[in-house]
Structure 1
Amino acid sequence: MDIQQKQWDALIGRIYETALSPGDWGELLEPMVDWCQQEKQDLATMEALLAHLDRAVRSSNHMHSQEDQNHLLNDMTNRLPWPMLMVDDQLHVVKHNSAADRILASGPLRMADGGALMLSDAKLKQQLQQVVRLQHGRDSQLLHSEQEKMVLLCMPVFRSDAPDEVSRVTTVVWVFADRSVAAPSVKSLADLFGISPAEARLLHLLCKVGNLSQSAELLSVSVHTARTQLKSIMGKTGISSQVALVSRAMSHALLATPTLATHDGHEERFMVLPDHRVLSWFEYGCPEGKPLLVMENQAGNMPCHEPHHDWYVSQGLRVLVVVRPGFGISSPCPNGSFVDFADDLRYFCERLNLQQPILAGYCFGGPYALAAAARYPSLFQQVGVIGSLVPWQYMHSGQLDPMHDRLLKMVDRDPRIFISLGKMALRGVNRSPEKFFSFFSRFLDPKDASLINDPAVQAITLPQLRQRWFQGARVIIDDYLRVLRPWKFELTDITIPTQVWHGALDRSVQVESARAMAEAIPGAQFHVLENQGRYPVIECWQEFVEALAGSIPQTITQRA
């Protein structure tokens, strides 16, 4: 057997080993790229390689599907003995438990051929359609049908990345007879929402009778007093309507099921865009302060804002972390561009009446911030990016770290290879992000490697990562491909004040590439952080924000 055949056999063996243990996908990068770069590889050989990759991906996807399906079934189906439906965002039943067989055959809920869910109550159907499309957020929702004397408890679930029918599931729906629902106790409401006894008594009655005036009469207080207490409850809970407040309380009472809270306790807010997609965000700092819009890194786990919340308040800043498409509950937009997201930001600012906000972006969030500044310069006061990615034309040969260099070569050779490997990698990254960070740290500056593997840093960043991947991790592939394509805007169109900050030790996007990008932006200020690498937001975030907000003189090293 010649050397080339041995290399081929070893590569194919590694591919199938990675399918079984996708957390080791990084070990496949080097031999894969080395093989693809050999000049002697002809088209037929590349197609054979792709065929093996495709089979390995299908094998990995099958295991991925089984793992996610088991997780969903164990977590939901076995929890309660009542009828349960798993539905997609088109209101089709993907799966259901045995308790649902009878109601689907002869009840007010029926399943048509093909799986479409048919509801006799038109109003209930409309409400359910909004829930499965996440237009009411990720929290559990309780829907009532007076017509059918029925209650639906709707629970949005983490969406699977597996290319199987389970990946269609967006919501689990439990079906109850109306008599099953009892108003939660006063004490449970006070404990659950952190409200006063008087406020808890009012909310208890609202859950029972649903009418503010009648509740006030039963409590022997004026309607004005009841309305004041209701506003206080909404302020404490962050819920903006009486209907949503009662729904939240009743869903907790019914099954004592907690909402899908974020790791730091801050509510993921959301709005429905004109095209019916969902855009979500988080808020920190001072509600009446100067608005600062932040776009996060690729994984969605940096920067972490809870440690800075009090500092934001002291600086008079209202920080709005806008969750990019596909992360959190923001609707995916796999074929969208950076400029398309700029249109979403314009609607976001108009809807919230944000006047001249500051834009900030880190890592993969940088191109999104720059695109918005280029498309709508009059909308924003200024823009700043820190550790941002740059257009590929500004990347200098040999200046990528080994991992990204291999990924780029793979894309250049055949994008299908990159996509296939990415599909296998998703399962490993999603199941064990700690292992991925450990692998990635091998290509980083020692300081970056120490930061990314620091248990204290991971304790903050990993919970946020898992929250951002609520709809699955496949959005990472979409983000990579979006960066590799033309960005569809010109840096020369950015006419507002711009700051570009970059770590001198960054091995992923080296400082000279960031400098080249900054020089293409008219009047941009370029700042080099001498002792920072890929993760300057961990140690320099407040300094960066202060410079953008203009609150203190800059003290960092600056180069022309």
Structure 2
Amino acid sequence: MNRKTSQALVEVSELIELIYDTSQTDERWPQLLKDMDQYLQHFEGKNSPSGMLSEQVDQLSNHLLRSFQFNEVSDKATHQQFISSQLLDQLPIGVIVTNAKAEVITLNQQASESINTHHALSIQANTLQANTPQNTTLLHQHIQQLSDGSSQEDGISLSLVQGANQPTLSIWISTMLNQNTPEHAEQNLIAIYIISSCIKPEYDTLVLQKHFGLTAAETHLTKTLTNGCHNLVEAADTIGISVHTARTHMKRIFAKTQCSSQVELVKMILTSPAILKQNNLHPFFEPHPTHHSITLFDGRKFGYMTFGNPNAEPLIYCHALVHSDQQLLPNKTLQNTKDFHIIVPMRPGFLNSDWISTTPSLHDHAKDIIQLTQTLDISTFHVLGYSNGAPYASALAYFYPKYTTSLTLVAPIVPPDIDQRKDLPPADRYMLQLGKHLPKRALRVLSKTVLRSMWQRPDELTKRAFVYASTSEKVFLQSKDVNDYLKHWIQSVYPEKTAAVSHDLMVRIRPWGFELKNIEVPTQVWHAKDDTISPFCCGKTLTSNIPNAIMHTLEHGGHYILYEHFSRILVHLKSSYS
């Protein structure tokens, strides 16, 4: 064993320790990628013992898989809590979820604003407190009794008076179903609904009437009671009716809703469909108007999005790794082109396209796209591939030239036999190197670690890109629209779509299955000299290898020239092939 290999073996214990440390503290992933890459380089080349590289790869892969399996349950619980918080934010009332000890599990935006504004409730050392010691004791007793089942009620109300000229805060404390997560499995969680005259939730009046069979007058009174009026006399005065009339309405309301008290009525209304007005829902929870899908011959769902003019020439757009499932570009106005009908096929595992366990090839995806175009009765089309989408676009042009009018590649990546590693940012370079050695399962674990870190820290994606970015790329990344676009992507892919992202990341190291010199379709390549993600040499190499390809060189714009020059690219495409 030579000295170089012996030194590497001494360092393996530190690397294994870093693997397990990163599974707990995922922001250390850049260091892990770097150290693993440097470690495996010790075993490359003629001077390394035969089989030693394979042995070390197996060892590291086993530790990677084992370390991250330990975190799988906790990871899922964290994601479920995040989704629950997103759902709670759709409610136009304050909601706080606690455990039996009044420790806050989560709260929605309305509850946070109410706490900051009215001070009847507060959170101290992650424990929910009321405005006086007596109210805090009472609040904690109610929470404990409901959690352990010692209360005979299914919910308890509490009014917190804040002083002269201050609104009274009414809260309704109720149990939630047991949670199937380790930290909550042995207890009932508690939901606390906050009602105040300063918090006026919006209702869908027609839904409220129809759902409970109320008259217009009964609906008006019900809404008034749940908008901060704390007794019937106050409610009657607010809407301008006599107390006698209000009591008559209340009897009928109780009969129709099968409630026996005003508190019970308020809880029922606040958890009914009437409070979820359609225009309050986040777009994430609605079908998007551009989303479509077909069923392929093998039974898989194949999703796609459409933009632009449905009556214009079809343009198949092969998306980059980072892309929104709500819009084509950060600047929405650019995608409303009149010259093309833009169709965006979603690769397996993205958006509403089914994932498949076997690794699909570029040819496989091209076949799916052809089935899509035939379903849409499209005979010929242009194809544009951006960044990671370039291999997919190139495959479509190579395998189906009779359908492809033209091929446009923007800031493209290149096949793995073209070495551009020295020009890549460190994290990309390390991942590319590791991709040559590690098995797919281990690479998927690494990809998931990177995504989880960025999901937990949404600004990390932009910050890391900013470190090695060129000047024009930094200008682009500072835009709020771009930041929102990137954050939406990371939130939409983790954790359900990590397999799809991992597969797409590895497109840099998988053989394309064809040679560039055999692409016969008219081709244009757009690339900027200051691109730091897919270096300029990639565009030059593709242009020189594809027969009759034309290159458009931009001095500035970096990797994001598609977003900056989308209209220009489409205008040139239209004029070249019309």
**Smaller-chain TM-score bracket:** 0.5 to 0.7
Deviation at 1:364, TM superposition (A): 1.0
Partner of 1:276: 299
Match of 2:38 among 30, 34, 41: 34
Paired residue secondary structure (1:550): helix
Match of 2:405 among 357, 360, 381: 381
What is the one-letter code of the residue matched to 1:59? F
Q: Distance in 2 between matches of 1:468 and 1:294?
A: 20
8 Å CA contact 2:527–2:553 kept in 1: the answer is yes
CA 1:459 to 1:74, structure 2 compared with 1: closer, same or farther past 3 Å? closer
What is the one-letter code of the residue matched to 1:513? C
Deviation at 1:339, TM superposition (A): 1.0
What is the one-letter code of the residue matched to 1:65? K
Q: How does 1:128-527 map to 2 (within 5 A)?
A: 258=281, 261=284, 266-301=289-324, 305=328, 313=336, 315-333=338-356, 334-396=358-420, 398-415=422-439, 418-464=443-489, 466-467=491-492, 471-527=496-552
* Structure number with higher relative contact order (C-alpha < 8 Å, ≥ 6 residues apart): 1
Deviation at 1:337, TM superposition (A): 0.9
Q: What CA deviation, in whole Å up to 9, does each residue of 1:164-195 have, x standing for no partner?
A: xxxxxxxxxxxxxxxxxxxx999679xxxxxx
Partner of 1:50: 61
Q: Distance in 1 between matches of 2:508 and 2:449?
A: 20
Q: Distance in 2 between matches of 1:20 and 1:429?
A: 14
| 512-521 or 449-458: bigger deviation | 449-458
Paired residue secondary structure (1:365): helix
Deviation at 1:308, TM superposition (A): 6.0
When normalised by structure 2's length, the TM-score is: 0.59
CA 1:310 to 1:487, structure 2 compared with 1: closer, same or farther past 3 Å? same
Tell me, which stretches of 5 or more residues in structure 1 are unaligned?
A: 81-161, 163-183, 190-250, 554-560
Q: CA RMSD in A?
A: 3.9
Q: Distance in 2 between matches of 1:384 and 1:526?
A: 10
CA 1:34 to 1:302, structure 2 compared with 1: closer, same or farther past 3 Å? farther
Match of 1:546 among 571, 575, 578: 571
8 Å CA contact 2:448–2:498 kept in 1: the answer is no
Paired residue secondary structure (1:300): coil
8 Å CA contact 1:361–1:384 kept in 2: the answer is yes
Deviation at 1:64, TM superposition (A): 1.2
Q: What CA deviation, in whole Å up to 9, does each residue of 1:24-80 have, x standing for no partner?
A: 312322122122222479455554433432332212323212323445678889x99
When normalised by structure 1's length, the TM-score is: 0.61
Deviation at 1:470, TM superposition (A): 8.6
What is the one-letter code of the residue matched to 1:28? L
8 Å CA contact 2:8–2:39 kept in 1: the answer is no
2:63 paired with 1:63:
no
What is the one-letter code of the residue matched to 2:300? R
Q: Distance in 2 between matches of 1:494 and 1:547?
A: 21
CA 1:76 to 1:389, structure 2 compared with 1: closer, same or farther past 3 Å? same
Q: Distance in 2 between matches of 1:252 and 1:270?
A: 29
Q: What CA deviation, in whole Å up to 9, does each residue of 1:533-559 have, x standing for no partner?
A: 222122112211221122799xxxxxx
Deviation at 1:496, TM superposition (A): 1.9
8 Å CA contact 1:332–1:475 kept in 2: the answer is yes
Q: How does 1:103-122 map to 2 (within 5 A)?
A: none
| 428-437 or 269-278: bigger deviation | 428-437
Q: Distance in 1 between matches of 2:411 and 2:544?
A: 16
CA 1:393 to 1:409, structure 2 compared with 1: closer, same or farther past 3 Å? same
Q: What CA deviation, in whole Å up to 9, does each residue of 1:426-469 have, x standing for no partner?
A: 32234334313322432332432443354331123432554466
What is the one-letter code of the residue matched to 1:360? L
Deviation at 1:270, TM superposition (A): 1.4
Q: Distance in 1 between matches of 2:345 and 2:503?
A: 18
Paired residue secondary structure (1:395): coil
Paired residue secondary structure (1:385): strand
Aligned-residue sequence identity (percent) comes to 23
| 354-363 or 64-73: bigger deviation | 64-73
| 254-263 or 343-352: bigger deviation | 254-263
Partner of 2:21: 17
Tell me, which stretches of 5 or more residues in structure 2 are unaligned?
A: 1-5, 92-180, 182-202, 209-271
Q: Distance in 2 between matches of 1:21 and 1:378?
A: 51
What is the one-letter code of the residue matched to 1:50? S
Q: Looking at CA atoms only, which structure, 1 or 2, has the larger radius of gyration? A: 2
Q: What CA deviation, in whole Å up to 9, does each residue of 1:281-307 have, x standing for no partner?
A: 222222212222211111224995366
Q: Distance in 2 between matches of 1:317 and 1:273?
A: 25
Paired residue secondary structure (1:280): strand
CA 1:430 to 1:473, structure 2 compared with 1: closer, same or farther past 3 Å? farther
Deviation at 1:498, TM superposition (A): 0.9
CA 1:185 to 1:426, structure 2 compared with 1: closer, same or farther past 3 Å? closer
What is the one-letter code of the residue matched to 1:489? F
CA 1:513 to 1:4, structure 2 compared with 1: closer, same or farther past 3 Å? closer
| 467-476 or 55-64: bigger deviation | 467-476
Paired residue secondary structure (1:271): strand
Q: Distance in 2 between matches of 1:293 and 1:11?
A: 44
Q: Distance in 2 between matches of 1:62 and 1:413?
A: 28
Paired residue secondary structure (1:527): strand
8 Å CA contact 1:289–1:316 kept in 2: the answer is yes
Paired residue secondary structure (2:70): helix
What is the one-letter code of the residue matched to 2:432? L
CA 1:308 to 1:9, structure 2 compared with 1: closer, same or farther past 3 Å? closer
